[in-house]
Structure 1
Amino acid sequence: MLWAFPPSPTPAAMPNEVIKPARVWPFLLWLAAFYTVWLVLVSTGGRWEVVKEHWPIALAMGFGSYVAGSTPMGGGTVGFPVLVLLFDFPSSLGRNFALAIQSIGMVSATIYLLSARRPLDWGVLWPALRGMIVGVPLGAAVVAPALPDLWVKLAFAVIWASFGVMHLVKMRAIVAAKSDPDLPKPYERPVGYAVGLLGGVAAAVTGVGIDMILYAVLVLLYRSDLKTAVPTSVVIMAAASLLGIVTNAALAQLMPSRYAIDPEVFANWLAAAPIVALGAPIGALVVNLLPRTPTLVIVSLLCVGQYAWTVIDQRVTGAPLVISFVAVLAIEAVFRKLYLWGGSWSAAAPS
């Protein structure tokens, strides 16, 4: 049954998840450095009023950062629709904010995960990182500026609606999967490169996406344990966010008329950054102590709901509505194919 939650291990059953203080000093050093820089930026520039004025995005990113650390979804998944649909900013601002805020939240979560020595699937992650180095600049320079504002919003909505439906359909199998991340996987290098290239373009266009694509490949194709798949997706999103915002800033310097970054990106970043620097790591910590299924169900329903919100808010009708709906179905068909391939590979693997 779809809604039958499988049992999750209790904290007592996971002694290896307890983090020793000596392991987290890089994370504590990072937090000290970040908050020092943030305080200097706010104090020396007289920007306290800016922070106060943008409290709504800080409040929204409190939830968004928890989602970023506890699920395979970047904080931009919350930041983008709040800024673009609720506050009516252009999609380019939502994208740049997503990349900028994830460069703090997802990087903070990554430093925590590495300090805590959480398992990562390096066999797929390394080639995905190399593919991303090509995909993100390609998407930022060529694809993103060529797409109309509505199509960027729809691309974001389609990606996350597909993600939500995938979880609601395959929740039990995804949560129950167990695998050793160190074991070689069929075609992991070409698959990783493809994920990095395609996901890098998606991240450059919408501010998110590469994490979902990598996560879907890990849980559907390779039947990865969520304790490996989620941290691995966090790391790839952190790297893509850093590369994306740096690329966009460089393009804005070279051709401001085509790649300009709205000043509101920095204003919203100032307000939300101190929240996400702690929120994402807290999400990564707490999720290991709680059942994953309820969190994934709630987030998946929100993903589907934001698609409906986008369609209604933007008054999407006619061909764009049909194309977006068909795109969701097409992505679901790809997910189903990945799952079937994964099943045949698992059956053929030596026991």
Structure 2
Amino acid sequence: MIPRTTTPAPRLWIWLLWLGLFYAGWSWIVFAGARWSDVVAHWPIALAMAAGSYVAGSTPMGGGTVGFPILVLLFEQPASLGRDFSFAVQSIGMTSASIFIFARRLPLATDMLRGAMLGTLVGTPIGIAWIAPFVSGVWIKLAFAVVWASFGVLHLYRINEIAGATGSGRSDRRWDFRVGLVVGLTAGATVASVTGVGIDMVLYATLVLLCRTDLKVAIPTSVVIMAATSLIGIAWKNLTTGLQPGVFENWLAAAPIVALGAPLGVFVVNLVGRKPTLLFVAVLCVGQFVWTCYDERASLGLSGTAAAAGAVLVVLLGFERLRSLGMARFSRRSAVAGSLDAQPTPIPVQPGT
């Protein structure tokens, strides 16, 4: 008899239903609202997000990782526009990818994800209200450049170790939840609220470095937390500060692309492998740092550029500290498991002997 599989069957009809509802709503806005000219006028961002949405679905970096530097560095738009656009475009792309992940029943680090979602629900509005308004455009660009450059460098020299992890991302449920809560609260209030992206990268780094989690679990988990944070961010900004001018027009052009592109990244990366994609994106992360420093050379000067490079090193050391804690934790758990295996099996005593 062939044993039954325990893997739940995919329910792709849920994702297809979502796509139908989204495209119907987008079409109504564009055509009934006479906004097709806005879509045509902003076609370059739609083209850029074709690549950005694939990155969003196949790596631990949101679509804003491509959208932010394209708008800010290439199109020379304000950094605040890049941040708000990141929230807006990911609220569709990452949400679509998340629905695709849930429909395909892909494994997730559920306990840590629950904690992170609760944390970002509190942290992201706090950061938008009381941290982001005090960060200037130049510092937004530098914050983005520094964090992503350190992430890229980490992958360039640790890729084999990261890609070789096999953990499920689950250990002690309460510990996982608390760690996720801290990640969601701090990353939502700082990195995500300032740049519009990044909480996915922080949660991913925690999973692969601290918990030794398999990429097949860590990356989908990071996609879901970025979707939740983007929805929280765009909703909070609409309710409070409002969005930067131009965000909606760019969103209209990019949204129909990312709704399909991010889930496509989730699917295709299982065929081509995650390692080549991660290496490619790592090079882009380092390249955008060089581009930012060159673009801001007049305001940074030699000392500012050196300070930015030092900041990359500091963030990288933080990642390495997280890795050291993960290695120590893994060694302790292995030692405990080994000692239990080494204990002699008790011999049952027969009655009357």
Q: What is the TM-score with the length of structure 1 in the denominator?
A: 0.90
CA distances 1:253-310 after superposition (whole Å, capped 9, x unpaired):
xxxxxxx423310000000000000000000011111121111111000000000001
C-alpha spacing 1:160/1:16, structure 2 compared with 1 (3 Å): farther
The answer to whether the aligner puts 1:276 opposite 2:258 as a matched pair is: yes
Residues 120-199 of structure 1: matches in 2 within 5 Å? 120-184=108-172, 187-199=175-187
Tell which deviates more after alignment, 319-328 or 181-190.
Answer: 181-190
| Counterpart amino acid of residue 344 in structure 1 | A
Q: Is the 8 A contact 2:169 2:211 kept in 1?
A: no
- Range with bigger deviation, 286-295 or 175-184: 175-184
Coordinate RMSD, CA, aligned: 1.7
- In the aligned structure 2, how far is the partner of 1:118 from the partner of 1:41? 33
Q: Which residue of 2 aligns with 1:209?
A: 198
Report the counterpart of residue 314 of structure 2 in structure 1. Answer: 330
Q: Which has the larger radius of gyration?
A: 2
Partner of 2:329: 345
1:218 to 203, 207, 225: 207
1-structure distance, mates of 2:179, 2:111:
10
**Partner SS for 1:180:** coil
Residue 286 of structure 1 is aligned with which of 268, 275, 298?
268
C-alpha contact (below 8 Å) 1:119/1:181 kept by paired residues: no
Q: 2:87, 2:233 within 8 Å by CA — same for their partners in 1?
A: yes
SS at match of 1:262: coil
**Contact 2:170/2:176 (8 A) holds in 1:** no
* 2:15 pairs with 1:27: yes
Matched AA of 2:188: G
**SS of equivalent to 2:272:** coil
Correspondence for 2:98 among 110, 121, 130: 110
Whole-angstrom distance in 1 between the partners of 2:176 and 2:6: 27
Which residue is equivalent to 2:287? 305
- 2:237 maps to 248
> How far apart, in 2, do the equivalents of 1:27 and 1:109 lie?
9
Structure 2 residues without counterparts, runs of 5 or longer: 338-353
Total equivalences in the alignment? 328
Aligned to 2:30: 42
Check conservation: 1:185, 1:222, Cα contact below 8 A: no
User: For structure 1, which segment, 172-181 or 61-70, has the greater mean C-alpha deviation from structure 2 after superposition?
Assistant: 172-181
Q: Give the equivalent residue in structure 2 for 1:264.
A: 246
Superposition TM-score, scaled by structure 2 size: 0.90
Structure 2 letter corresponding to 1:285: F
Q: Identity of counterpart residues, as a percentage?
A: 52
Output one character per residue of 1:69-126: Cα deviation in whole Å (capped at 9) or x when no partner: 0000000000000111111111110000000000000000000000100000012111
Does 2:45 match 1:63? no
Q: Deviations over 1:225-250 (max 9, x none)?
A: 00000000000000000000111111
Between the aligned partners of 1:275 and 1:16, the Cα distance in structure 2 is 35
- Quote the offset at 1:181 in angstroms: 3.4
CA distance in 1, matches of 2:305, 2:125: 29
Distance 1:74 1:37, change over 3 A: same
Q: Say which SS state the counterpart of residue 271 (structure 2) adopts.
A: coil
| Alignment match of 2:227 (pick from 215, 221, 238) | 238
